[in-house]
């Protein structure tokens, strides 16, 4: 098994991979680079390989692709792309094998993170201070809220180059 730690645009296109996994990355690539990311993935994926894309996104293309407060305090220049954008930029490069959404489950994950953050806060509060605490509490609670309200979601899309012979078997 090989893992690369590099800019996706620097992956040698002479190398081929059976699997490509992108988790929590698309939000930081920027919408104008989606097609570039997909093109690189398509070039380095073997013909019967699988590309798994996991990302947060919004449920409606007319919604803002970022929450201004998140952009200012948590993830500068991030975007939570609309689902349709994720698919549109992959057209002609990939076949969609599977789509899974689990924003409601991720809301529970964020709640667990908040609980762990609160439990550990006494040990780190002197180092990080009250401002840091308020920012992260706001981030964790807002994220839970937008997922609970179904404004945003967590998407997992499985792509292949030409369609998996016999069909893709999803494991959930």
> How many CB atoms neighbour CB 97 within 10 A?
18
Domain that holds residue 36: 9-103+150-160
According to DSSP, residue 91 is labeled T
Give the mean model confidence (pLDDT) for residues 48-60: 92
Q: Is residue 118 part of a domain?
A: no
Q: Is residue 135 part of a domain?
A: no
* The model's pTM: 0.86
Tokens at 152, concatenated:
């945003």
CATH number at residue 18: 3.40.50.150
Torsion angle of the four alpha carbons 79, 85, 90, 95, in this order, in degrees rounded to the nearest 10: 120
Q: Is residue 172 part of a domain?
A: no
Give the pLDDT score at 63. Answer: 79
Contact assessment for residue 142 and residue 88, using Cβ atoms and an 8 Å cutoff:
no
Give the pLDDT score at 121. Answer: 98
Give the pLDDT score at 105. Answer: 93
**Neighbouring residues of 55: CB distance < 8 A, sequence distance ≥ 6:** 22, 24, 25, 26, 27, 80, 81, 86, 154, 155
Q: Is residue 34 part of a domain?
A: yes
* 1 — pLDDT class (breaks 50, 70, 90): confident
| 36: pLDDT strictly greater than 90 | yes
* 12 — pLDDT class (breaks 50, 70, 90): confident
Mean pLDDT taken over the chain: 92
Q: Is residue 129 part of a domain?
A: no
Give the mean model confidence (pLDDT) for residues 160-167: 93
Q: Is residue 168 part of a domain?
A: no
Give the pLDDT score at 71. Answer: 86
The CA distance from 149 to 144, in Å, is 8
Give the pLDDT score at 30. Answer: 81
Q: Is residue 39 part of a domain?
A: yes
- Number of domains the chain contains: 1
In the three-class reduction of DSSP (H, G, I as helix; E, B as strand; rest coil), residue 59 is classed as coil
The CA distance from 62 to 51, in Å, is 27
* 2 — pLDDT class (breaks 50, 70, 90): confident
* 3 — pLDDT class (breaks 50, 70, 90): confident
Q: Is residue 56 part of a domain?
A: yes
Report CA-CA distances (Å) from 121 to 84, 90, 132, 136, 137. Answer: 39, 42, 11, 11, 11
In this prediction, what percent of the chain has a pLDDT beyond 70? 100
């Amino acid at each position: 098994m090989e893992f690369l730690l590099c800019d996706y645009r620097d992956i040698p296109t002479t190398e081929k991979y059976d699997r490509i996994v992108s988790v929590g990355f698309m939000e930081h690539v920027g919408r104008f680079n989606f097609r570039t990311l997909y093109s690189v993935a398509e070039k380095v994926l073997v013909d019967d390989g699988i590309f798994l894309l996991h990302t947060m996104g919004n449920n409606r293309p007319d919604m803002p692709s970022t929450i201004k407060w998140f952009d200012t305090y948590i993830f500068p220049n991030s975007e939570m792309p609309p689902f349709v954008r994720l698919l549109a930029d992959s057209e002609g490069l990939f076949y969609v094998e599977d789509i899974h959404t689990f924003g409601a489950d991720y809301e529970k994950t964020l709640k667990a993170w908040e609980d762990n953050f609160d439990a550990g806060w006494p040990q780190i509060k002197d180092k990080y201070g009250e401002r840091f605490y308020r920012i992260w509490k706001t981030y964790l609670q807002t994220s839970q809220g937008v997922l609970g309200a179904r404004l945003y979601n967590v998407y997992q899309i499985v792509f292949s180059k030409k369609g998996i012979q016999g069909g893709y078997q999803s494991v959930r």
